[in-house]
Amino acid sequence: MNRVRHNEESKPGQSGMKGTKRCKALALILTALLLMASFSACQSTPSAGPTEPIDVNGTTEPIDVSGTPGVIEPSVQPSDPSKIPGQWAENIGANPVTMINSTMDVSSFDERLLAFISEHAEGNYMASPLSFRYALGLLLAGANGETKAELLKAFGVESEEEWNKYCLDFNGFSERYASGLEQAIREHEEWVKKGYISKDAPAPYRALRVANSVWKADWVTEDFKDAYREAIEKYYAAEYRSFTPADAVAKINEWADIKTEHMIPKLLPEDYPTESLAVVLMNALYFKDNWAKEFPKWRTKENDFHTLAGGTTRKEFMTTEEHFSYYEDDETQLVILPMNGGVYMAFVLGSTDGLSEKISKAGGEQVLVTIPKIDLETDFSNGEFVDFLKANGVNLAFTDAADFSNMIDHDLYVSDIIQKTRIKLDEKGVEAAAVTAIIVPESAMPPEEGPKTFVADRPFSFYIYTTANDTTAIMFAGQIVE
C-alpha cells in the first residue's frame, strides 16, 4: 500500500532506479545533499574548480569555491545579520564552519530514516531529514525523564547537546552561505561599474532559510517554561505563535506558505481536527540556488525514461558536458554537480550501498551528464514519521504517559507528525522546500460513562453460526476489508 501522496507536474524520475527497492532511498539522500553540505574532516577530491586556502579561526583550511565568486571567510560578520540575503533567522546560534567540500557522510539517524521511508513509499518521492531533525530538536528540548531517554536512544545520540550540535553545525553553514552571497552581490555591482559584465546581467541570487516556530493554543493557560524558551532560542531561533481551534489551520498554513516562498502553501487540510490541539512544533526549510554552470537550454530534449516497473515515459532531459566529480564501479555510477555557495547535488545510478565512501572517492573527470527536469511534491501525512520513531523504540511520547514537563506544565503527547516537500529542478538550478510539523494535543481525560458504540467503518470480520446441545457450528465466516 502506498502511504505517500505526491503530485508531479512534469513527472520527474529517478535515474537508474532498477534492482532492489533499497535504491529508492536515493531521492532522500539527494535531498540531504541538497539542503546541507557535509562538515566531515575527511579529505576528498573536490568537484570541478580550484581549491584555495582561506583563514578560518586562525588556521588554513581548504574550501571548494568552484563556481562561487568572492567566497569570504566565515569569520567576517556583516553589520546587520537581519538583512543578509538568504538567511531567515536572525542571530541564530551557530558553530563555525571549518571545511566545505563535496564529501557526504550520512549519519546513522538519517540512514535509518531513509531506509525506513524507502520501505514504505512507492513511486517518486522526496523527504527532508534535516527538517525532521530541527522539529525533533524542538520536541527533545521539552521532553523529560523516560520520554527523553527514549528519544535520545532512537536518535542515536548520548545527549541533547550532541543532537543540538548537529543543528549548530548547519546553522554555521547557513551563515557562511548568506555571507558568501553578500560578497558576490558586491562583486557583481563592481564588475558592472567596471564594464566587465553588462548592466542588464541579473544579480546573483540564492537562498537558504531555516525557520522554526513553537505554537500554543490560547486556551492553554500555562506558558512555556523559561528554560525551554532559552534552549530553543539559542539553538533554533524559534518564533512563538498562538492559535485558536478556529484559526489554527489557517495560521499554520500561512506560516508554511510564507517561509517556503509559496512552494508549500498548505500543510494541513481544512478539516484537520484542532479541538484538543495544544502545541505545534514546526520547521521550514527553503533553498534556491543555481548550478555553478547552467545547462544549455538548446540541448534540452524530450526522450524516454525507463521506469522501475519496466515501462517507459516521456520526460524533458537536460544535457551538459563539464569537468565534474565522478565515480563508478560494478554496482554504482555517480556524478556530483556543484552549485554556488558550497552546495552539491549527487545523481546516482545503481546501488546506493556505501554511498558516502564512494562519493569521497570521486575524482575529477570530463562527464557528459543527462538528467530529467523535475517538479515533484510529496506529502508524508499518513503517520510515516510516527511509525519510524515507534520502530526505533519511541513509545511514551505517543501515549498519555508522555512527559514533556520541560516544555510546559500541561499534560501533552504527540499525536501526529506531518511533512511536505517540493523540489523544482531545471537548466538554471534547484529550488526546494520542506515543512515539518509535530502535532501535540493535550492528553485525553477519562471519558464519562455512556453507551458502547460499534461502528463498522473499518475492516471487520463476520461469522454465521449456530449452537445445539452445547456445540457451536460456524456455518459461514468472512471479513470485509475494502
* Distance, CA of 277 to CA of 153 (rounded, Å): 27
Q: Is 301 inside any structural domain?
A: no
Q: Residue range 268-280: average pLDDT?
A: 94
* pLDDT given at position 242: 95
Residues above pLDDT 90, as percent of the chain: 35
Does residue 437 fall inside a structural domain? yes
Which pLDDT score is estimated for 142?
Answer: 96
363 in a domain, yes or no? Answer: no
Residue 281 in grid coordinates:
512544533
Strand pairing of 207-217 and 239-243?
parallel
Mean pLDDT rounded to a whole number for the chain:
74
Taking only the tens place, the pLDDT of each residue in 306-315 is 888 888 888 8
For 198, the domain range is: 5-292+373-441
Average of pLDDT values for 352-370?
A: 85
CATH at 68: 3.30.497.10
Would 340 be classed as within a structural domain? Answer: no
Tens of pLDDT, residue by residue over 128-147, are 888 999 999 999 999 999 99
144-178 pLDDT, tens digit per residue, is 999 999 999 999 999 999 999 888 888 888 888 88
Predicted TM-score of the model (pTM): 0.75
- Domain annotation covers residue 343: no
Q: Answer whether 78's CB lies under 8 Å from 84's CB.
A: yes
Q: Is residue 330 part of a domain?
A: no
* φ/ψ of residue 8, rounded to 5: -120, 125
Q: What is the DSSP string of 11-55?
A: ----TT--SSGGGGGHHHHHHHHHH--B--------SSS-EEEEE
pLDDT tens across 326-338, in order?
Answer: 888 998 888 888 8
- Does residue 312 form part of some domain? no
pLDDT computed for residue 73 by the predictor: 28
- Give the closest residue to 279 by CA, choosing from 157, 463, 139: 139
Number of domains in the chain: 1
Phi and psi at residue 406, in whole multiples of 5°? -75, -15
How do residues 401-453 score in pLDDT, each as one tens digit?
999 999 999 999 999 999 999 989 899 988 889 999 999 998 754 444 455 43
pLDDT in tens, 419-428: 999 989 899 9
Classify residue 277: in a domain, yes or no. yes
